[in-house]
Amino acid sequence: QLAGLAVIAFGLWLRFGGVMADFASDKKSPEYFFMGLYVLVGAGALMTTVGFFGCCGAARESQCLLGAFFACLLVIFAAEVTAGVFAFIGKKVAIQEAQKVYEDIYDDYMKNPGGKVNRTIYRYHLALQCCGKDNTEQQMGLPCPENIQMPKASNCLVEIHNVIDANLHLVGIVGIAIAGITIFGMIFSMVLCCVIRNTRDMI
């Protein structure tokens, strides 16, 4: 249950907090990346629910509930492995999608510098601590944050790549950790189930 709640909190933090929240606040958000986070939150909710039934099975010494708990953990484990493979395979697509979002907003700004997109592109620059797509951007009047670190100011597309790559690595680490907990849960549930059965046979 605690692991499930941790996964939910982690998924929601990536979705609504930090740099990625700025991409989500625009209509042109990288849905491919966020779909993975929705799956992560869903898996966490399922783990929390399954954990509750596992506690009930252990408390009531029910082989049926413990068997169902084991089966659910097996399904969750398979889903975690699939999601992890999907995340690593789809990393390139997610990065390209997020970069395309920025390029579309950049092009909109260039067509109409005084429009609504001015605030949007500034928000991205502030979150990513970058400015434009090459070294000449700051001379073109782009809305950029003050005191920006110059080595990072040259290319927002590179920063987008770095941010999503780092976040997906975090997702991978959390997924591996939760998969390990899931394996232990399956082992302990089977051990407990066998102990209950042996105890009843002796009685």
Q: Confirm whether 74 is domain-assigned.
A: yes
- Our count of domains for the chain comes to 1
Per residue of the chain (203 residues), what is the pLDDT tens digit?
Answer: 887 888 788 778 777 766 666 665 555 555 556 666 777 788 788 888 888 878 887 787 778 888 888 888 888 888 777 767 766 777 777 788 788 888 888 888 888 776 666 777 787 887 787 887 765 555 466 777 776 665 555 688 888 888 888 877 777 777 777 778 888 888 888 888 888 878 766 65
Q: Confirm whether 22 is domain-assigned.
A: no
The parent domain of residue 129 ranges over: 61-202
Q: Confirm whether 51 is domain-assigned.
A: no
Q: Confirm whether 196 is domain-assigned.
A: yes
Q: Confirm whether 29 is domain-assigned.
A: no
Q: Confirm whether 8 is domain-assigned.
A: no
Q: Confirm whether 72 is domain-assigned.
A: yes
Q: Confirm whether 178 is domain-assigned.
A: yes
DSSP secondary structure of 29-83:
--HHHHHHHHHHHHHHHHHHHHHHHHHHHHHHT-HHHHHHHHHHHHHHHHHHHHH
Phi-psi sector, 132: left (phi>0), alpha (psi -120 to 50), beta: left
Can you give the pTM of this predicted structure?
A: 0.66
Q: Give the chain's length.
A: 203
